[in-house]
Amino acid sequence: MLILGLQIVIGVVFIKPYIITWGATDQEISMSMPGDHLAPFISSTRSITINAPISDVWDWVIQLGADRGGFYSYWFIEKPLGYKYRETNRIEPDFKDMEVGRIIKASLDPSMSFIEYNFPVVTVDPGKSFVLKNWGCFLLNEIDSTRTRLIVRTHGQSMTSLRDHIEYFFMMPLHYLMERRMLEGIKSRTEVGSGEPFSSTNDILWFLGMILSFCLIVVLFFTSKTIQSQSAVVLFSVILLLILFVADPIPIYSLSLLLLLVFNILWQNKNLGSSLSF
């Protein structure tokens, strides 16, 4: 109960304010954006600086969709959940349109998806912004001729029951993880340029490090016999949260935590063995 309560407090008090405004300035958070009137509330405003002209960023952003360029996020999470989509590492001439009424598909085969959903385009300001129903607004602001701000404002959905609030509590951080990777994926592809191969190796190593670290924390939780070892579980669970939501999603952080956990478990087993021998 202590660990669960601590996780909730840290998540609500410290992590939630960070993840709902990830990368965004105070001005971007408070400014009005197209489509704001469509949402019962604003769930998040997230931004990233891309070192490329605004026209180049626009070409990549409008390729969102299962039938176009995918979502530039964690494919190894999406595809096992049934979200099938094509991927491309280049700007396709056939995908340079963005029109009101277009459906941005979440999967090429919705019947296989874990949750079936699509995103109809409701407004478009060519080269500048578009609004997706059930998602929110994608807005480009030009800093100068070589730098662009990509801002994504996610719309909250109506919540009329306790179940809706519980689902939002758990889905909001998951959406953040995927949307953060999407923004970084658009940034990396735009800055590298069309046609360059894109590697997911670092993403996979980071994700494996997080999963294995979580599993070892669970092992520690069930094998802790002393106050010292139980305190370690609390500490490692907090570090896990910070690495997952606050630190950059790169392998060095998750793999370092994994090594610390391995050493801790080995140290505990060594001390237990010494005690038994005594």
Q: For domain 22-198, is the CATH number 2.60.40.1080? A: no
Kindly give the parts of the chain with pLDDT less than 70.
195-196, 270-278
Q: Is 71 left (phi over 0), alpha (psi -120 to 50) or beta?
A: alpha
Closest CA to 142 of 133, 130, 151: 151
Rounded-to-10 torsion of CA 208, 104, 66, 106? 50
Burial class (CB in 10 A: 0-12, 13-18, 19+), 182: buried
Q: What is the pTM of this model?
A: 0.90
pLDDT score recorded for residue 203: 95
Which residue ranges make up each domain of the chain?
A: 22-198, 203-277
**Across the strands, what pairs with 137?**
131, 153
8 Å CB contact between 53 and 145: yes
